[in-house]
Amino acid sequence: MTAPRTEAIAIIGSGPAAWTAAIYAARASLNPIVFEGEQVGTEGPGGQLMLTTDIENFPGFPEAITGPDLMDRMKAQAVHYGTRVVSELITSVDFAQQPFTLVPNYSAPVTAHTIIVATGASAKWIGLDNEIRLAKNGGGVSACAVCDGALPHYRGKRLAVVGGGDTAMEEALYLTKFASEVVVIHRKDKFRASKVMAERVLGHPKVRVEWNTVVTDVLGTDEITSLQLTDTVTGAMRDLPVGGLFVAIGHAPNTGFLAGQLDLTPFNYIKTASWRTVTSVPGVFAAGDAIDDYYRQAITSAGTGCMAALEAERWLAHHGIGESPVLETAVAPVGIAAAVVEPAV
């Protein structure tokens, strides 16, 4: 029996970073294979954009495009140029030796000379049934104010932000540009955010804070109408009418399956060299929200997907595997071949 061939490049993930990497790799004749994952709870192929309705800030779509439509188009473009897609999760990896090994959820292990990890990050939700339903249906619940806050649906309304860290402060301040009022809901009596960010929020005329308060229900059928709030000290409950809810209690990178195979940050994002996608293992690259706890935008994820594909392509060429790089210039920048084989520091 003939042994399965070793892939030149395998991509793990199915968000903007993964599909952009696949498009570049496919056009470079590297015949990429993408493991796009499976539906698990609120997470599935396409990542967080599958919970986003109209996207107005992705270049090329002046009339806006929904998150699912954007992911469908990116995937179709990657497949059009020859990308192969496997609808399975990768449950474990072995990056200890070349070629690398990926273990899918059901099928046989796959080996590859280069890997791009673009598994993204998952927003942390309160965990209420109607919260998740309205987030999926575009009913006024979101985990990203910068992504969704400027949409017409939210303008001129009272908007709520749940959280007490710097991210929640940033979301609240951003929303003041569009909302009639922003209500920050925090379960404690003081923010954990940095002093400067907290002071900006507390001093803003459009912001008020509900201290010692948690959201115990999200009300509304087709779209959010109000929140059920519970006082953590007295237990008293009341309703707060709102036109939108932004949950800003953090994100968790989807890197658990790596199990120590790559160096991670203290918050479990994959470590990469500055302005590069190289990881601690030569030949393994990372892109998208799995490396980004700052921007977390579709366009930045797509950009790093492009970078990862180009770096993987050059790494393969440097080692005499696959086609030569198809770049805008015939000669790679001085030192690039040596640089791409060094681990991130």
Task: Just list the catalytic residues.
Answer: 144, 147-148
Orientation angle between helical segments 298-318 and 16-27, nearest 10 degrees: 40
Residue 97 CB contacts under 8 Å (≥ 6 apart), including other chains? none
d(CA 256, CA 46): 18
> What distances in angstroms separate CA 280 from CA 9, 10, 25, 277, 319, one per listed residue?
17, 17, 21, 10, 18
> What distances in angstroms separate CA 66 from CA 55, 76, 110, one per listed residue?
6, 15, 33
d(CA 332, CA 17): 23
- Find the helix or strand (DSSP H, E) in which 142 lies: strand 141-142
Contact 168, 158 (CB under 8 A): no
> What distances in angstroms separate CA 47 from CA 36, 43, 70, 98, 196, one per listed residue?
9, 6, 12, 29, 32
d(CA 43, CA 123): 9
DSSP helix/strand/coil, 261: coil
